[in-house]
């Protein structure tokens, strides 16, 4: 009964006593009892009963005008008045023939007829029964045409950066040289002799590729050493590397927020798409505060119960505007209202701070210049709970991380 109630809205909304009462109602010309009569009106059961009756007509099996399993008293039901011959022939019962015709008519109702127990499916949502094969190419062409018309179609430039002539590069023609001003390789570290020679030596010894995921066979001493170095850089107890910082932001925010019960994420209005994606994937409640507006952030924090876990997600260097995040002010609010902070330093690592740890380190430049790892001095970087960064910009290679 429980399984049936889950699938059938009529059974789900009817009490056992009501069903029992229907099963005891007198039979009609078309049904053995009231419950069977209701089943005949169902678009699912009605069709099934029609098929059963049609099969009986073809095989000459005696069938009553209702299905036995719909009634508690079905075991006592009298057999239908039909003559069954010992060979294939039509059933001679006029009552049965009339019943089948009635069921066939209900199985194919007139246009506009609807089941009283089930919401009508809009025509726009209905599955077409026949038609021409879907034209995928037409859709692709139409979408591409839209891109061309609104000037949003992207062409990839053929830029081949020259290792020995940074920041020079050649185009598709080797003799056609240009100067690249739009690279994320700000410092030319991808061409640094120490970096290049170290990569060559590593490739000669270990080959290219990890050989698998880290939890199977792709974790090595190089990964662990890199994570230790990143943790020291940001004065954090540990770090974790990813294939990119987009993945790092997405995975960290979504996973962390999901694990914190009833978590709320407060996000700067100009946060990067990777952070927005992570917040979306988390499925938790989000609150957007105006860009770099700590007064608005505090207004939102005041509306949240102190017992609710909160994450404030923001950046230091906002790539679309060039503004700098208010690290100290946001960390102060986080402490005041019991929130943790997630800071994206993607456009700052390698560029700011005495050791290249980013803006948070740069804010206390003198204190961080010769500071030991276990120093009791509390800097802006220490106040941030989680920092994300990239290895694909100022550091000149590939990958992302959190610390």
Catalytic residues: 393
How does DSSP assign 8-32, residue by residue?
A: -HHHHTS-HHHHHHHHTSPP-SS-S
* HSE, side-chain direction, 13 A CA sphere, residue 6: 2
- CB–CB of 313/240 below 8 Å? no
**Beta pairing class for 240-242 and 400-402:** antiparallel
- CB–CB of 305/261 below 8 Å? no
50 preceded by a cis bond (ω within 30 of 0): no
Q: Which two tokens stand for residue 205?
A: 């010894």
d(CA 80, CA 70): 16
d(CA 193, CA 66): 88
**Beta pairing class for 310-315 and 285-289:** unpaired
């Amino acid at each position: 009964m429980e399984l049936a109630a889950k699938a059938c809205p009529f059974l789900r909304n009817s009490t056992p006593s009501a069903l029992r009462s229907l099963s005891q109602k007198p039979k009609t010309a078309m049904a053995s009892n009231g419950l069977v009569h209701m089943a005949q009106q169902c678009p699912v059961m009605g069709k099934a009963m029609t098929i059963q009756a049609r099969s009986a007509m073809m095989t000459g099996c005696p069938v009553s005008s209702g299905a036995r399993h719909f009634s508690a008293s079905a075991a006592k039901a009298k057999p239908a008045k039909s003559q069954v011959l010992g060979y294939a022939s039509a059933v001679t019962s006029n009552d049965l023939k009339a019943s089948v015709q009635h069921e066939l008519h209900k199985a194919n109702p007139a246009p506009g007829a609807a089941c009283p127990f089930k919401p009508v499916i809009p025509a726009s949502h209905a599955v077409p029964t026949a038609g021409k094969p879907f034209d995928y190419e037409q859709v692709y062409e139409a979408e591409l045409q839209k891109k061309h018309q609104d000037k949003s179609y992207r062409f990839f430039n053929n830029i081949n950066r020259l290792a020995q002539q940074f920041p020079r590069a050649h185009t598709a023609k080797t003799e056609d040289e240009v100067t690249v001003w739009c690279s994320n390789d700000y410092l030319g570290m991808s061409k640094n002799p120490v970096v290049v020679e170290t990569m060559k030596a590593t490739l000669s010894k270990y080959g290219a590729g990890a050989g698998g995921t880290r939890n199977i066979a792709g974790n090595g001493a190089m990964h662990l050493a890199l994570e230790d170095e990143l943790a020291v850089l940001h004065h954090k107890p540990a770090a974790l590397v990813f294939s990119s910082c987009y993945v790092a932001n997405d995975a960290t925010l979504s996973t962390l927020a999901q694990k914190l019960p009833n978590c709320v994420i407060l996000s700067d209005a100009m946060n990067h798409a990777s952070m927005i994606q992570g917040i979306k994937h988390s499925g938790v409640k989000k609150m957007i505060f105006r860009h770099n507006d700590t007064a608005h952030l505090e207004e939102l924090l005041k509306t949240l119960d102190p017992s609710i876990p909160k994450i404030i997600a923001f950046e230091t260097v906002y790539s679309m505007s060039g503004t700098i995040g208010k690290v100290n002010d946001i960390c102060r609010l986080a402490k005041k209202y019991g929130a943790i902070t997630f800071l994206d330093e993607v456009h700052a690592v390698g560029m700011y701070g005495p050791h290249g740890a980013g803006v948070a380190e740069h804010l206390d430049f003198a204190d961080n210049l010769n500071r030991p790892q276990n120093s009791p001095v509390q800097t802006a970087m220490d106040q941030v709970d989680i920092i994300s960064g990239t290895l694909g910009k100022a550091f000149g290679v590939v990958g992302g991380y959190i610390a």
